Amino acid sequence: MRAMEELQALLGPQRVLSAEAERRLYASDETPRACTPEAVVFPRTHEEVAAIVQWANRHRVPLVPRAAGSGNVGGALPVPGCVVVGFECMDQVLEFAPQDRYIVVQPGVITEEIDRIARTAGLMYAPDPGSGAYCRIGGNLAMNAAGPRCVKYGATREHVLALRAVAGDGRELRTGARTSKYATGYDLTRLLVGSEGTLALITEATLRLIPAPERVAHLRACYADNAAACAACARVMQQPVVPAALEFMDRRSIEAIRAYGGAAGLPPGTAAVLLVAADGPYDDVPRQVERLAAALGGEGLIELQSGFSAAEIERLWTARRALSHAVKRIAPLKINEDVVVPVSRLAELVAAIDRLAEVHRIPLVAFGHAGNGNLHVNLMVHADDADEMARAHACRRALIETVLRLGGTLSGEHGIGSEKRAFVRLELEPDTLALMRALKQVFDPNGILNPGKKLPD
Ligand SMILES: Cc1cc2nc3c(=O)[nH]c(=O)nc-3n(C[C@H](O)[C@H](O)[C@H](O)COP(=O)(O)OP(=O)(O)OC[C@H]3O[C@@H](n4cnc5c(N)ncnc54)[C@H](O)[C@@H]3O)c2cc1C
């Protein structure tokens, strides 16, 4: 039997897409590249995933896992001759155990749905990527996704108790336990989270839930310049009240929002903004707001507002919500870096970004999770302008070198995928990289899973 017929016999013809028009729908993620896969398959169970991986090993066909395709580093980008394993049909909640504060889900469950279910029992699933309304937990696990709340609660990895998966050689893997403590064997859970589908396909995840805060409040602090906002950010992270979000928009972000017409609520002279959240027991939140406000005050502060109701909070976030539309107006192509530095070095990073923008003549818009020292630095370019693209590539490399000099790292939450592999050697020592390659060989000796991703060639 031919390989594709075998696959159809395995899953039934409805769950194997082979028509070109259908396959093309899975040719790209959020990166501006595309490669049409040979087929797209939709398993429903762990056993079907195992059978697909075994089939792929027999026929030496590369498999590219895909959740919702919202990744922006080409993690789910097909490679020539591959089969895409789409996890959208594995969207079942298998167990919800509020008494033990966990939930067991298949990888295709939408991230916000997990939080919604948790809240029915007074709990929450803390990781909150901006794409949470449509991305799937399998993608979050593979990328160690994060969001604003992660400055207080940690990224996806901190919220995974156990995994079930199929290794690249087809073996079943169970890691961790459904308990709040675990010290048996090596911690393969932490290894698989963030492995970008290169070691194993995750088929089931037991996620940690935590008590939902009784109340939330937000603050918006507007500053005269980037340096004042960065100094305030460092002050906030030095005092004992950990914010439940600490987001930053730089001068170019504010300029873009103004040009787009979304800055009506910002006071004149605003050149940088911090958005901060507090959460916790009902009566404690006002005290937290007071402490955070004290840390946000200081030289360069133009205006500080706080809000407790949903409507007030929405108003404080209006300008931030306009940002992604505003940025798109600058240039059609966004090269999105996701760098991190220790929070005390944020001011140096932001100043360096300003200098790089001038030296390379590339509009750089920086915003993001400043409490983690994690900035999304967007290089806005025109793909058909060869000179501009060359300057952008030089600028990108200089940015990465600056980040590493400041003690930082390439990616805080988006991952490496195919787009950032070229920079990995700048960060990882050769021996460390060799050990990672050896791990890949153990999990996936035939190099079936997501080739061309995560590690450099
Ligand atoms: C508007 C927007 C906002 C965003 N905001 C954030 C943000 O705040 N924080 C953040 O972290 N990211 C953010 N992202 C990026 C993206 O949403 C995340 O990387 C997300 O985790 C990807 O999930 P997905 O379901 O789309 O996965 P995909 O893009 O489909 O896949 C991501 C990776 O996971 C692998 N994978 C998928 N399923 C499995 C599986 N079952 N087993 C093994 N590997 C698997 C894929 O091969 C790929 O490498 C944003 C993206 C957009 C477009």
Give, using CA atoms, the residue closest to atom 34 of ligand 1: 139
Work out the burial of residue 429: count CB atoms within 10 Å of its CB; fewer than 13 is exposed, 13-18 middle, 19 or more buried. Answer: exposed
Which CATH number is 66's domain given? 3.30.43.10
Beta carbons of 140 and 161 less than 8 angstroms apart:
no
For a ligand 1 pocket test, name from 41, 42, 135 the mutation site with the most ligand atoms within 8 angstroms of its C-beta: 135
CA 368 to ligand 1 centroid distance, Å = 17
In a domain, 174, yes or no: yes
Q: Residue 341, Cβ neighbours under 10 Å: how many?
A: 25
Q: Would you call 162 helix, strand, or coil by DSSP?
A: strand
Q: Give the separation between CA 35 and CA 28, rounded to whole angstroms.
A: 7
Which CATH number is 200's domain given? 3.30.465.10
Question: How many domains, in total, are found in the chain?
Answer: 4
CA 130 to ligand 1 centroid distance, Å = 11
In a domain, 112, yes or no: yes
Contacts of 106 (CB under 8 A, 6+ apart): 87, 90, 91, 92, 93, 94, 203, 204
Domain termination residue (choose one: 394, 413, 432):
413
Instruction: Note the pLDDT of residue 264.
Output: 83
Residue 62 CB less than 6 A away from ligand 1: no
Q: Which atom of ligand 1 is nearest to the CA of 197?
A: 44
Domain enclosing residue 304, as ranges: 214-329
Instruction: Note the pLDDT of residue 269.
Output: 96
Instruction: Note the pLDDT of residue 263.
Output: 85
Residue 194 CB less than 6 A away from ligand 1: no
Amino acid at 417: G
311 and 375 housed in the same domain: no
Q: Residue 353, Cβ neighbours under 10 Å: how many?
A: 24
Beta carbons of 102 and 207 less than 8 angstroms apart:
yes
In a domain, 8, yes or no: yes
Residue 418 CB less than 6 A away from ligand 1: no
Q: Which residues pair with 204 in a beta bridge?
A: 164
How is 366-417 classified by DSSP, letter by letter?
Answer: EEEEGGGTEEEEEEEE-TT-HHHHHHHHHHHHHHHHHHHHTT-BSBSSS--T
Residue 131 CB less than 6 A away from ligand 1: yes
Residue 345 CB less than 6 A away from ligand 1: no
CA 1 to ligand 1 centroid distance, Å = 35
- Please give the model's pTM, rounded to 2 decimal places: 0.97
Residue 74 CB less than 6 A away from ligand 1: no
Backbone torsions φ then ψ of 89, nearest 5 degrees: -85, -10
Q: Which atom of ligand 1 is nearest to the CA of 29?
A: 29
Q: Residue 249, Cβ neighbours under 10 Å: how many?
A: 27
In a domain, 74, yes or no: yes
Residue 29 CB less than 6 A away from ligand 1: yes
For a ligand 1 pocket test, name from 42, 48, 109, 143 the mutation site with the most ligand atoms within 8 angstroms of its C-beta: 143
122 and 41 housed in the same domain: no
288 and 233 housed in the same domain: yes
232 and 309 housed in the same domain: yes
Beta carbons of 135 and 129 less than 8 angstroms apart:
yes
Give, using CA atoms, the residue closest to atom 27 of ligand 1: 139
Contacts of 56 (CB under 8 A, 6+ apart): 62, 63, 83, 448
Beta carbons of 176 and 160 less than 8 angstroms apart:
yes
Residue 175 CB less than 6 A away from ligand 1: no
Q: What is the DSSP letter of 101?
A: T
Residue 129 CB less than 6 A away from ligand 1: yes
265 and 236 housed in the same domain: yes
**Over its length of 457 residues, how does the chain's per-residue pLDDT go in tens digits?**
588 999 999 999 999 999 999 999 999 999 999 999 999 999 999 999 999 999 999 999 999 999 999 999 999 999 999 999 999 999 999 999 999 999 999 999 999 999 999 999 999 999 999 999 999 999 999 999 999 999 999 999 999 999 999 999 999 999 999 999 999 999 999 999 999 999 999 999 999 999 999 999 999 999 999 999 999 999 999 999 999 999 999 999 999 999 999 888 999 999 999 999 999 999 999 999 999 999 999 999 999 999 999 999 999 999 999 999 999 999 999 999 999 999 999 999 999 999 999 999 999 999 999 999 999 999 999 999 999 999 999 999 999 999 999 999 999 999 999 999 999 999 999 999 999 999 999 999 999 999 999 999 8
In a domain, 423, yes or no: no
Domain termination residue (choose one: 329, 348, 367):
329
Beta carbons of 448 and 63 less than 8 angstroms apart:
yes
Instruction: Note the pLDDT of residue 1.
Output: 58
Domain termination residue (choose one: 313, 329, 345):
329
